[in-house]
């Protein structure tokens, strides 16, 4: 069982902070869609949860903090270019 969290720290609750946070999640192999419940995300190879209980609570808290500060739509917009890059699709800046 994990003793520490793998979730990156959120530098600030701005659009740029969200963009950086999603990028750090992607680099750590932990990228998820912010509309998905982190408790429902499973590893395809093993069907185990991606996040520990502690990490699930942390991710839920951070997403809530971002949505309260910048709004749901801006959180989705911050995640979008990171998802596109993860799938190998270049988006216009």
Question: Does residue 1 fall inside a structural domain?
Answer: no
81 burial via Cβ count (<10 Å: 0-12, 13-18, 19+): middle
Q: Among 2, 18, 1, which Cα is nearest to 67's?
A: 18
pTM of the model: 0.89
Question: Does residue 60 fall inside a structural domain?
Answer: yes
pLDDT category, 26, cuts 50, 70, 90? very high
Q: Among 6, 3, 12, which Cα is nearest to 62's?
A: 12
Question: Does residue 20 fall inside a structural domain?
Answer: yes
Question: Does residue 3 fall inside a structural domain?
Answer: no
Q: How many domains, in total, are found in the chain?
A: 1
pLDDT category, 2, cuts 50, 70, 90? low
User: In which domain, by residue range, is 37 found?
Assistant: 15-86
């Amino acid at each position: 069982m994990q003793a520490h969290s793998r979730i990156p720290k959120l530098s600030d609750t701005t659009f740029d902070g969200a963009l950086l946070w999603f990028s750090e999640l992607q680099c750590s192999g932990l990228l998820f869609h912010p509309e998905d419940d982190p408790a429902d995300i499973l590893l395809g190879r093993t069907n185990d949860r991606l996040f520990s209980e502690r990490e699930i609570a942390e991710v839920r808290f951070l997403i809530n903090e971002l949505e309260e500060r910048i709004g749901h739509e801006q959180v989705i917009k911050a995640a979008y270019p990171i998802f596109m890059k993860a799938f190998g699709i270049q988006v216009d800046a």
